[in-house]
Structure 1
């Protein structure tokens, strides 16, 4: 029964990946449509400006000058491709959650005790955070980044990290596994979203530095400007930093209960602290040293690269008390 549930979980993983692929393609088509719409709008506005004329009318004894035929700014609404992409992300998450639940039921525990399970749950959290933040801010333009990242991570996890359900090592048989690792996953989700915003900010900065006349990046005109993107990056990463701080503290408490010491310079502990230092430096530099714009975005991306290094290289090639990759 346990093996059957684990296999059903894998089937749902592949099903979720297929849905995320549809979402990715839809978001790509939305980007292409945005570029085309921007070009058409530019042409229409130029024609309107050429045809516009000034008309003088008398209202209540006052001469009023009115620009007839002048271009009018209209708010842009999401395309049908964007709506399809968001719908597929919601459907993909439902299937994704089903795979996580089945894996947990098969293992009789929370499903994040090895690299495969961490990847499975972590990618689900990334999608959930992406969808949840839409109620705070319209970040649908990150759909390409999020769906693409989730597809890559799930593909690597199912091909390279998959392991059968096995009992927990003694050190992991603790309620701290539920709390500590789940908060770490949530922090990683916010760091991933912040990385997507940082990339968008860098691209927008480049486009604006070229006077906005970059044919391949016309769709960026439909996104917030570079300053606004940088502020959103900071706010998202601030939430991730708070969660990561709790992860570091909770990990030390768990280490004392499991191994009798709060800190032992284990490789995983060191890299968790390095990540914390990078993001603390990002927040400090931005708040006190005026590191705004491209410099802060590059630092944010360095932090996310450290997160990915900690998850992949440290787990696979460094031995220590935290070697729970399952491989």
Structure 2
């Protein structure tokens, strides 16, 4: 009963996230239209634009079409955020229902990991949105969530079942929860990194034609760099803890802390690339674009560790199927 309810809630959440994606896409389209000159995603409020000063004139003012476009974009952005919150509530409820149905932590296979990963990614985005102007991330974040949920229900789906013996440990809660939390924040950092590279390149090229309309709708490169750095600074120690917790779990299960199993190897590669990014950020001459490449490399390694290693490479961690 609860397993069926969980599945129904997942499909409902996918539909809600699809609405949020279209709403955020509409906001982005309005902010990048040729008629819109509003400095998008900056200023007061989470992700909202900065109000333009009123002109000093005694003549009657006609309605400004740019103001109407800006207002519509603001409305769509706020609506997208509200719909995203509804989607988060649905997927959280679906995950809890699956955990109760299985009578265990709901992250014992790739399907469940994708569900909880969608929760972590959405929650991380909303947490950043509450403090920084990152609503420009919305269309990309929700797109990633939809991709994760779509793969979960089509490729990765696994019926509710008991854990295999090696997973039946309290370390499952500790290790996997840390990895999922770090992964969600790393995903926000990856989006910030990609958008930083887009904005930085446009700024370097200067005001040329309409190619930079999307870049102009993004936060400044300084703001994006700050979000990029903050996300990775927050996620890196969590990922470090996840790797260490996994080593302790391995010692409890297999009698050794580290054995260069493919999963362990790629977790370490991910850690090294993110460590290289943080080191590059503190090194003169490597900040900015060069450092960002390490961050994107780390995220690519993180994704391969989840999908590639689990689906294509055999090892000691190949016990849960999908």
- Does the TM-score normalized on the shorter chain lie above 0.5? yes
| 8 A Cα contact 1:315 1:324, kept in partner | no
Deviation of residue 36 (structure 1)?
Answer: 2.8
| 8 A Cα contact 1:227 1:293, kept in partner | no
Name the structure 2 match of 1:251: 246
Deviation of residue 289 (structure 1)?
Answer: 4.5
Deviates more, 1:221-230 or 1:169-178: 221-230
For residues 242 and 33 of structure 1, the distance between their equivalents in structure 2, rounded to whole angstroms, comes to 38
Deviates more, 1:218-227 or 1:27-36: 218-227
| 8 A Cα contact 1:35 1:217, kept in partner | no
Deviation of residue 38 (structure 1)?
Answer: 5.9
The CA deviation string for residues 281-313 of structure 1, in whole angstroms up to 9 with x for no partner, is 111122124312222222211111111101001
Deviation of residue 139 (structure 1)?
Answer: 1.1
Matched position secondary structure for 2:149: helix
Deviation of residue 41 (structure 1)?
Answer: 5.7
| 8 A Cα contact 2:34 2:213, kept in partner | no
Kindly report which structure 2 residues correspond to 1:155-234, keeping only aligned pairs within 5 A, or say none.
Answer: 155-234=150-229
| 8 A Cα contact 1:230 1:297, kept in partner | no
Name the structure 2 match of 1:34: 31
Name the structure 1 match of 2:110: 115
Name the structure 2 match of 1:103: 98
Structure of greater Rg: 1
Determine whether 1:307 maps to 2:291: no
More strand by share: 1
The CA deviation string for residues 59-78 of structure 1, in whole angstroms up to 9 with x for no partner, is xxxxxxxxxxxxxxx9x776
Given the two structures, how large is their TM-score scaled by the length of structure 2? 0.86
Q: Say which of 143, 148, 156 aligns to 1:148.
A: 143
Query: For residues 320 and 204 of structure 1, do their structure 2 counterparts lie closer, same or farther at Cα, with a shift above 3 Å needed?
Result: same
For residues 8 and 291 of structure 2, the distance between their equivalents in structure 1, rounded to whole angstroms, comes to 41
| 8 A Cα contact 1:207 1:214, kept in partner | no
Aligned residues: 295
Q: Say which of 22, 26, 32 aligns to 1:25.
A: 22
Name the structure 2 match of 1:86: 81
The CA deviation string for residues 194-233 of structure 1, in whole angstroms up to 9 with x for no partner, is 0100111011012112213352442432432223312220
For residues 267 and 96 of structure 2, the distance between their equivalents in structure 1, rounded to whole angstroms, comes to 27
Deviation of residue 170 (structure 1)?
Answer: 1.3
Matched position secondary structure for 2:311: helix
The CA deviation string for residues 157-209 of structure 1, in whole angstroms up to 9 with x for no partner, is 11011011111111111111111100100000011000100111011012112
Deviates more, 1:101-110 or 1:203-212: 203-212
Query: For residues 214 and 16 of structure 1, do their structure 2 counterparts lie closer, same or farther at Cα, with a shift above 3 Å needed?
Result: farther
Stretches of 4+ aligned residues off by more than 3 angstroms: 37-42
Superposed CA RMSD in Å reads 2.1
Query: For residues 215 and 299 of structure 1, do their structure 2 counterparts lie closer, same or farther at Cα, with a shift above 3 Å needed?
Result: same
Matched position secondary structure for 2:32: helix
Please, which runs of 5 or more residues in structure 2 have no aligned partner?
A: 40-54, 58-66
| 8 A Cα contact 2:31 2:38, kept in partner | no
Given the two structures, how large is their TM-score scaled by the length of structure 1? 0.85
For residues 217 and 106 of structure 1, the distance between their equivalents in structure 2, rounded to whole angstroms, comes to 50
